Every structure is written in C-alpha cells, then in structure tokens.
Structure 1
Amino acid sequence: MLKDVRRYSRQELEVACEDFSNIIGSSPDSVVYKGTMKGGPEIVVISLCIREEHWTGYLELYFQRGGRLGKVKS
C-alpha cells in the first residue's frame, strides 16, 4: 500500500469527472476519465475490468498510461 497518498471516495471522483462523462480514452478492459478536483488539480481516473490474477501484470502499464494522459493539455 502506498503511504501518504490521499484516497478519494467514488462520489468525489464522480463529481470531479462530471458523472464519469468526460471519457478521454478506452480499451477493451478499461475506461479513462479526465476530471478536475475541487480546488483545481486535474486528475485521470482509470476504471479497470481486470481479473484479480491479472492485476499485477496490468498495474505498471496503467500507472504509465495515467501519467502520460496527465501530461496531455486540453
């Protein structure tokens, strides 16, 4: 588990991502949303549909993808 990382509720993420309507990418196993948190920071939320036994293999890939999408200017 990561330390000193703020956890957000689904409701907070839903508000930030405009009811999950701000889709900026997708694949057969994920949907990527862009959002803006209260106070201004922009975020990327990735909704994954991955079986537990495959999670480790996908983890790094999605962190990298989220990082790249976070650098995209709208």
Structure 2
Amino acid sequence: MSRVIYSILDWVCDQIRGYEAAHGNKPDQILVTPEQAIGLLYAAWKGTSAASVDPVELVRQGGVFVLGVPLKLFEVGHGR
C-alpha cells in the first residue's frame, strides 16, 4: 500500500477514533473527496475482481465502511 493511501486510511481512522473519544459514539458518516475514495478502494481491491467497480459510485451509493462508519462523498456543485 502506498504511503499516501496509508496516510488517507490512517486519517479516516483517526477521525473516527477521535470523534468516538469525544462523544462516546462513532460518527454517522465520514466525508471523503472523490480522490480519497478512489485511492482507498483501489488500494484495498488491488488484484481482485472488484477492481472493475467504480469506487466513487460505490461511495455515492453508501456501500463503503471504515471501522463500521459509512463513507460519504464530499462533492462541490459546479456553479455557473
């Protein structure tokens, strides 16, 4: 796993653990950018048949969890 991907996963886990320590429960969700979602899932799926699945779409559909917390895609709408 590359250092950047490990850093993203470590950051997500730190956010979850920090929230849990402060509030006594896990957060409802963790926001990630499309780039973070792609990096996390490609690293996890490397060499598997799941590598053909679009990781951004999977996060949009609510199908990705870290430590039991769903990832939610943070996307900024494009204004005119």
TM-score scaled to structure 2, two decimals? 0.29
Q: Rg larger in 1 or in 2?
A: 2
Larger strand share, 1 or 2? 1
Report 1 or 2 for greater relative contact order, CA contacts < 8 Å, sequence distance ≥ 6: 2
Larger helix share, 1 or 2? 2
